[in-house]
Amino acid sequence: MIAPSILSADFARLADELAAVPTSDWIHVDVMDNHFVPNLTLGLPVVKSLLEVTDIPIDCHLMIEDPDRWAIGYAEAGAYNVTVHVEAANDPIALAKNLRAAGSKAGLSIKPGTPLEPYVEVLKHYDTLLVMSVEPGFGGQSFMADVLDKVRQARHLVDTGHLKLLVEIDGGINADTIEQAAQAGVDCFVAGSAVYDAADPGKAVEALRAQAAGAR
């Protein structure tokens, strides 16, 4: 699965930018609040507008404080998958249940320096694990290959039946890094500049998908 990140798109032409990647599996939307991360992007009103102009499932990645309070609104608005950070959630198990009750899939994200092991039981309540391969907050960062150990751990837990979730990766994914991520066991690849800096974003999505499939 390929999920283009609109963080790298032209914010003045978001409807057109979504239309340029029609075969994407998800559209990844980074919500940043300038508190949990040192950057400010967009929020629920923009997500609602995006939902009106595309049929591609919206994958909201909430890099925000107090997701227990704010995340439910994105699910209620119609986002397909709503991901919160385990470092910010007060009660991640209750939050997962509330997100599902509100109509979305529940995703849990971990920063590069956050270990997977303490959250395995928590992840039994989630549909998606988003492994950050850069520090959250800014696009265009370099891929951190050491996080692939966590991907391999998660893949093993899924393959052996201990977890039932999709493994997603976000940060520095491009033609040079997607194959090693695929080999480690990633299911869904978030790609920003690798898609939207390309001359043809739609073809870039298909090229990344072919690379990942070949590596798996």
Residue numbers annotated as active site: 30, 170
Q: Was 140 annotated as part of a binding site?
A: yes
Q: Was 192 annotated as part of a binding site?
A: yes
Q: Long-range contacts for 64-68 (Cβ within 8 Å, ≥24 apart)?
A: 64/31, 64/32, 64/33, 64/35, 64/36, 64/88, 65/33, 65/35, 65/36, 66/90, 67/95, 68/94, 68/95
CA distance 112 to 131: 7
Q: Was 214 annotated as part of a binding site?
A: no
Q: Was 133 annotated as part of a binding site?
A: no
CA distance 62 to 142: 21
Q: Was 139 annotated as part of a binding site?
A: yes
Q: Was 30 annotated as part of a binding site?
A: yes
What tokens does 13 get? 């032409």
3-state secondary structure (DSSP) of residue 36: coil
Q: Was 193 annotated as part of a binding site?
A: yes
Q: Was 138 annotated as part of a binding site?
A: yes
> Binding site membership for substrate: which residues?
5, 61, 137-140, 170-172, 192-193
> Binding site membership for a divalent metal cation: which residues?
28, 30, 61, 170
> Binding site membership: which residues?
5, 28, 30, 61, 137-140, 170-172, 192-193
